[in-house]
Chains A and B, each alone.
Chain A
Amino acid sequence: MNHQSDKPVILQFLQIRTKAPILFWTIVFIVAAEAFVIGIAPLIVPDHFYLRAYLTDKAEEKIASFTRGDDRFLVFDQVVGWRNRPNTKLGNWAVDRYGSRSTHEFGHEKIRPTRVLFLGNSLMNGGAHLRIDETISAMIEDSLTEAINFGTMLYSVDQMYLDYVERLHRFNPDIVVVGLQSDPGDGLVNQFIPFWKRSETNMPFLKPRFVLEHDQLKLVEVPELEVYSNCLTQGSLFDHLETADSYYEDFDSYKRFGILPISSALWSLSERAENLSELLDEEPVYKDMVLAILNELRYETEKHGARLIVLTFADQQKAYPDRIRAMLPDQYGDLVAALRASGFEVVDSRSAIINSGLEPWQVYHIDERHFIREGNAVIAAALKTRVTQLLRTSAAVNSDEQGMMD
Chain B
Amino acid sequence: MNFVTTQFLVFLVFVFFVYWHLPRKAQNIFILLASYFFYACWDWRFLSLIIISTLVDYTAGPKIQAARSERARKGWMLLSLGVNLGILGYFKYFNFFAGSFASLLSSLGMEVSYSTLNIVLPVGISFYTFQTLSYTLDIYRGKLEPTRNFIDFATFVAFFPQLVAGPIVRAKEFVHQLEKKRVFSFDDLQIGATRFLYGFFKKAFIADTLAVNIVDPVFANPADYSSGTIWLSLLMYTIQIYADFSGYSNMAIGSARMLGFEIPENFNFPYLARNISEYWRRWHRTMSRFFRDYVYISLGGNREKFAVVLRNICITVIISGLWHGAGWTFVIWGMLHGFYIVVDQLIRRWQARRYGKNYSMGVVGSIIGWSLTMYFMLFARLLFRSQDFSDTTTCLVRMFTGADGITLGVNMLAWVAIVAFFIDHVYGWFKERHAAIDSIAPYWAKALLYASMIIFLYHARPTEINPFIYFQF
Contacts and interface: CB of A to CB of B under 8 A. Distances in A.
Given A8-B21, A22-B194, A264-B458, A29 B185 contact: no
A16 B185 CA distance: 11
A26 B186 contact: no
B179 interface: no
Interface string A3-44: 111001110100110011111111011100100000000000
Interface stretch (B74-82, B102-110, B242-250, B449-457): B449-457
B9 to A, nearest CB: 11
Interface in B436-473: 443-444, 446-448, 450-451, 454-455, 458-459
Interface in B230-246: none
Contacts of B185: 1-3
B184, B194, B459, most chain A CB atoms within 10 A: B184
Contact of A261 (B17, B443, B450, B454): B454
At the interface, is chain A mostly helix, strand, loop or mixed? helix
A30 B451 contact: yes
A116 B459 CA distance: 49
A260 interface: yes
Contact of A28 (B186, B446, B447): B447
B458 A29 contact: no
Contacts of B183: 2-4
A12 B184 contact: yes
Interface string A245-281: 0000000000000011100100000000000000000
A161 to B, nearest CB: 36
B190 interface: yes
B183 to A, nearest CB: 5
Interface string B171-209: 000000000000111110110011000000000000000
B294 interface: no
B184 A3 contact: yes
Given A3-B186, A12-B184, A26 B447 contact: yes
Contacts of A9: 17, 20-21, 184
B193 A23 contact: yes
Contacts of B194: 22-23
Nearest to B457: A261
B443 A21 contact: yes
Contacts of B186: 1, 3, 12, 15-16, 19-20
A26 B450 contact: yes
A279 B400 CA distance: 60
Interface residues of A, number: 28
Contacts of A20: 186-187, 189-190
Nearest to A23: B190
B451 A33 contact: yes
Most buried by A among B20, B183, B186: B186
Interface string B143-185: 0000000000000000000000000000000000000000111
Given A22-B450, A29-B448, A2 B187 contact: yes
Given A1-B187, A2-B183, A20-B186, A25 B443 contact: yes
Interface in A224-264: 259-261, 264
Nearest to A24: B447
Contacts of A264: 458
A26 B184 contact: no
Nearest to A259: B459
A8 B455 CA distance: 31
Contacts of B193: 23
A1 B186 CA distance: 8
A254 B358 CA distance: 64
A32 to B, nearest CB: 9
B447 A261 contact: no
B187 A30 contact: no
Contacts of A26: 447, 450-451, 454
Given A29-B448, A30-B455, A261-B455, A22 B443 contact: yes
Nearest to B16: A9
A264 B458 CA distance: 10
A25 B189 contact: no
Contacts of A259: 459
A396 B163 CA distance: 76
A161 B183 CA distance: 70
B310 to A, nearest CB: 48
B453 to A, nearest CB: 9
Given A22-B450, A26-B450, A261 B184 contact: no
Contacts of B455: 30, 33, 260-261
Contacts of A23: 189-190, 193-194, 447
Contacts of A33: 451, 455
Nearest to A7: B184
A25 B21 contact: no
A53 B458 CA distance: 12
Contacts of A1: 185-187
Interface string A52-72: 010000000000000000000
Contacts of B444: 25
A19 B190 CA distance: 9
Nearest to A5: B184
Contacts of A29: 447-448, 451
Contacts of A15: 186
Nearest to A199: B463
Nearest to A28: B447
Contacts of A16: 186
A36 to B, nearest CB: 11
Contacts of B459: 53, 259
A261 B186 CA distance: 24
A124 B13 CA distance: 48
A295 B446 CA distance: 64
Interface in B67-96: none
A8 B22 CA distance: 10
A261 B459 CA distance: 9
Interface of B: 17, 20-21, 183-187, 189-190, 193-194, 443-444, 446-448, 450-451, 454-455, 458-459
26 contacts: A1-B186, A3-B184, A3-B185, A3-B186, A9-B17, A9-B20, A9-B21, A9-B184, A16-B186, A20-B186, A20-B187, A20-B189, A21-B447, A22-B190, A22-B194, A22-B443, A22-B446, A23-B189, A23-B193, A23-B194, A25-B444, A26-B447, A29-B448, A29-B451, A30-B455, A260-B455
Interface of A: 1-5, 8-10, 12, 15-16, 19-26, 28-30, 33, 53, 259-261, 264
Given A25-B446, A26-B454, A260-B458, 15 more contacts: A2-B187, A9-B20, A20-B189, A22-B190, A22-B194, A22-B443, A22-B446, A22-B450, A23-B189, A24-B447, A25-B448, A28-B447, A30-B451, A30-B454, A53-B459
